[in-house]
Structure 1
């Protein structure tokens, strides 16, 4: 699980009206909550190969255009620690909120492939079901 303060998407998520941020222990620990359900938001950062990253980019474009068409779609995504695509997600434990952004490594840094996408409700639950693996569920 990634630290919220070290995420590229942290400022956009913090600015969202339905997000509450609580700091403790002199500001060293940060907990993020989704206000409507008071659900804790986990931060996830995974790296993927070029082929998987490109498929993920296409999936996100398809999902944004028509969320219902991906209900039965299965993505085979195995994280690769040396991958040149980086996926950052902030996901509510109950699946009611997800913020996601994809980055690609070029010119010695990770650059955003697309704008941050924020989904709530049923669309967030669908996206969580497809993108968040069982390993991340236990975090």
Structure 2
């Protein structure tokens, strides 16, 4: 599991009012907490082939029932070992918070393709199915 410090969206997640970041073990370990529920937040990365970018984008553009349907389709997309499209996520363990961003490998760097999308409640639980 990647550290929040190594994610492209680290600054945006840290700036969210519902997130608290604690440094532990002499500043060597970082713990992210979703403050409304006190749940720890884990970070994930999934890499995909270039043709998955549009499906990932649809997931970030939807909410409610449509989001749950699109997230189920994204969960079925096959990951690749070294894809140039990456879905980065910060997901609380109680599935009440999620932050998502799509980044793409271009010119020897991962660059954001989308803004960071923050989800809470049922929408966050819907996208959690992608990371099971």
80-89 vs 47-56, which deviates more? 47-56
The corresponding residue for 2:103 is 103
The 5 A counterparts of 1:49-68 are: 49-61=49-61, 63=62, 66-68=63-65
- RMSD of Structure 2 on Structure 1 (CA): 1.4
SS at match of 1:11: helix
Unaligned 5+ runs, structure 2: none
Cα deviation 1:25-54 (Å, max 9, x = unaligned): 111001101001100100001211112233
The corresponding residue for 2:23 is 23
CA distance in 1, matches of 2:55, 2:91: 21
Q: Is the 8 A contact 2:60 2:100 kept in 1?
A: no
The corresponding residue for 1:40 is 40
Say yes or no: does 1:70 pair with 2:67. yes
Q: Give, in angstroms, the shift of residue 8 of structure 1.
A: 1.1
Alignment length (residue pairs): 129
Cα deviation 1:64-99 (Å, max 9, x = unaligned): xx4322334422122212101011100000000000
SS at match of 2:77: coil
Q: Give, in angstroms, the shift of residue 109 of structure 1.
A: 1.4
CA distance in 1, matches of 2:84, 2:69: 27
